[in-house]
Amino acid sequence: MASLVFLEHHEGELQKGSLGALAKAAELEGGDVAAVVLGSGVEELAGRAGRYGAGAVFVADDPAFEKPLPQPRVDALAQLVGEHGFDTILFAASVLSADVAAGLAARLDAGLNWDLVDLVREDGRLVGKRPALGDTVVADVGWTSEPRIALFRSGTFEPKETGGEADVRTFDADLEDFSSAAVMVEQAHEESTGPSIEDADVIVAGGRGLGGPEKFSLVEELAQALGGAVAATRAVVDSGWYPYSAQVGQTGRTVSPKLYVACGISGAIQHKVGMQTSSTIVAINKDPNAPIFDFADLGVVGDLNEIVPKLTELVRARRAG
């Protein structure tokens, strides 16, 4: 097996999810693996991957990779795979990595398995573990040809410090015309966040099922009564109902409180991966088919406009008494 791990970076830091994928690849290889860093002014950053299990780090340091756009990265990865014959290419899920992985699969005519929560060797072949149907089943998936492309669910593996040193090998990537057609005119920066929801013991979260931004007061009042913090889903943050800093999910914070109360949240994978390790999940939703009921500890089918204010009152009364 000859693995290549795609390392994502943002504002001078290698991303934790990518380093986790690197640790997984090193475990499977039983030693150092190759990694790739694409960016502008990233040679020193790339070297740091040695501490996390990368034996060789391929670096294309080029202004074309300054912005986190997927298509130029497909060109560079396809070139590396062609030149070095990697048979397995691993990605940790992110908005960028998913697009790179899928573009690369199409370019190389390679199989892509996504949303994997593990990758193991069984009966001499690589087997990915992929939850399906709202995580009610887990499928063992594989590849029928090489290279194999694997995209891990975000937050699946922890990085492991090995303290090694990487051989940094620079290369020049040839880019396709269409790959450079999209340009980034504004790039996201880490927003300053208020009190972090990552440390809260209790979180009350609101989704589209609230019906409108003004209904967040229901969520806020319940959070206050429980002494907890307020969180939101991507859909309501994208709609401008609540600030990005409160967002829980794949693009957003990952939280693990003792109690997570989900109000009007359907439980899409995007949200689930950010909160599924909460100790107790209570969900209130009027749609009995909402996927959140598949992983809530207590699911309540009903109208949150009725239930939440009453719940707030009862909690307040209990605390006061």
Partner 1 sequence: MKIAVCVKQVPDAAAPKRLDPATKRLDRSVEGAINPFDVHAVEEALRIKEGGGGGEVVLVSMGPAKAGESLRKALAMGADRVVLVTDDAAEGSDLLGTAKALAAALAREEADLVLFGQQSSDSDGAVLWAAVAEKLRRPVISQVAELTLADGKVRGKRQTEFGYDVIEAPLPAVVAVSDAINDPRYPSLKGIMGAKSKPQETVTASDLGVAADEIGESGKRTEVYAVGDPPPRGDSVKIEDDGGAAEKIVEYLVERKLI
Nearest one of 159, 162, 7 to 80, comparing CA atoms:
7
CB atoms near residue 146 (< 10 Å): 17
Contact between 144 and partner 1 by CB under 8 A: the answer reads: yes
Ranges within 262-281 binding partner 1 (CB under 8 A):
268-270, 280
The single residue listed with the structure tokens 């410090």 is 161
Q: Which residues contact 109 (CB under 8 A, 6 or more apart)?
A: none
Which one, 27 or 99, has the nearer CB to partner 1? 99
Contact between 16 and partner 1 by CB under 8 A: the answer reads: no
Which one, 55 or 147, has the nearer CB to partner 1? 147
| Residue 83 C-beta: closest distance to partner 1, Å | 20
Asked if 11 and 39 count as a contact pair (C-beta separation under 8 A), the reply is no
Contact between 120 and partner 1 by CB under 8 A: the answer reads: no
Which one, 8 or 32, has the nearer CB to partner 1? 8
Ranges within 183-242 binding partner 1 (CB under 8 A):
183-191, 202, 226, 234-239
The backbone torsions φ and ψ at residue 18, rounded to the nearest 5 degrees and listed phi first, read -65, -40
Nearest one of 223, 221, 214, 87 to 150, comparing CA atoms:
87
DSSP code for 283: E
Contact between 284 and partner 1 by CB under 8 A: the answer reads: yes
| Residue 177 C-beta: closest distance to partner 1, Å | 8
Alpha-carbon span 261 to 156, nearest angstrom? 23
Q: With contacts defined by CB under 8 A, name the span among 33-41, 52-60, 101-109, 161-169 that binds partner 1.
A: 101-109
The backbone torsions φ and ψ at residue 204, rounded to the nearest 5 degrees and listed phi first, read -115, 125
| Residue 184 C-beta: closest distance to partner 1, Å | 5
DSSP code for 8: P
Contact between 174 and partner 1 by CB under 8 A: the answer reads: no
Ranges within 25-64 binding partner 1 (CB under 8 A):
none
Q: Which residues contact 316 (CB under 8 A, 6 or more apart)?
A: 225
Contact between 305 and partner 1 by CB under 8 A: the answer reads: no
Contact between 124 and partner 1 by CB under 8 A: the answer reads: no
Nearest one of 155, 148, 162, 138 to 198, comparing CA atoms:
155
Which residue among 120, 121, 172, 182 contacts partner 1 (CB under 8 A)? 182
Which residue among 3, 18, 88, 94 contacts partner 1 (CB under 8 A)? 94
